[in-house]
A = this chain, B = another copy of it.
Amino acid sequence: MKGIVLVSGGMDSLVTAAIADQECDEIYFLHVNYGQSTLDKELNCFYKLEKHYQPKDTLIADIDYLGQIGGSSLTDSSMEITDHDSSEGIPSSYVPFRNANFLSIAASWAEVIKAERIYIGAVEEDSSGYPDCRQSFFQAFEKAINLGTKDTTVIKICTPVIKMNKAEIIRKGLELKAPLQHSWSCYRREDKACGTCDSCVLRINAFKKAGIPDPIPYAINIDWQK
């Protein structure tokens, strides 16, 4: 069975790739450059993960339009990437309907190479509250894929980490020997993780909860025992 994995370079998609690697006979990696602020670093991590997992084939899709559309601090340089805020609500880093754009690319590719599965490392709980990370969205999108492609094309969207919290994802990654040192989560910096943006704070707390230090460098001192 062939599976396409959406690999961003982040931790959730890395662990998803590790799971797909176990479940599929052949894996294919899809990476999307969409004008995100840490594009180069993510692509760099992607290449390391590609080298590690040796997928059968790789597609790097360059899309500029999410930057043209804006509406997110990740793609619009005029918007500030704010510090983590534990209050409810959708953060400014939400990229409008991003996952649908990624899944559409994956489904187009899947139909051509006859892949039966698309893996995406979305996390519903313990995440940032992005609406395109909800299980109900993926179910609806899977239905749309199967109605909008050839009748002989049957594709399943797999979200193996969607119900996990970040600490469980880290433990799963360790169990599967996923190279966590080659993942990047920071929204702000590419040399060292800032340690204070939404994505960094979620990652740091998760490593603390999992009881191990994060192998990537941070710009601030972090006490991993706390």
Report the separation of the CA atoms of residues A12 and B7 in the bound assembly, to the nearest whole angstrom.
37
Whether B71 and A111, one on each chain, are in contact in the complex, defined by CB atoms closer than 8 angstroms, is yes
Does residue A220 face the partner (Cβ distance < 8 Å to B)? no
Tell which of B59, B95, B97 touches A69, judged by Cβ atoms closer than 8 Å: B59
**Shortest beta-carbon distance from A162 to chain B in Å:** 14
Does residue A141 face the partner (Cβ distance < 8 Å to B)? yes
Whether A111 and B96, one on each chain, are in contact in the complex, defined by CB atoms closer than 8 angstroms, is yes
Does residue A49 face the partner (Cβ distance < 8 Å to B)? no
Q: A111-B97, A144-B137 are in contact. Are A132 and B105 (CB under 8 A)?
A: no
Does residue A104 face the partner (Cβ distance < 8 Å to B)? yes
Tell which of B96, B134, B148 touches A97, judged by Cβ atoms closer than 8 Å: B148
Tell which of B96, B105, B144, B147 touches A149, judged by Cβ atoms closer than 8 Å: B96
Not counting A131-B147, A141-B148, a sample of 9 additional A-B residue pairs whose C-beta atoms are within 8 angstroms of each other reads A59-B69, A63-B63, A94-B150, A98-B108, A101-B101, A103-B104, A134-B148, A137-B148, A141-B144
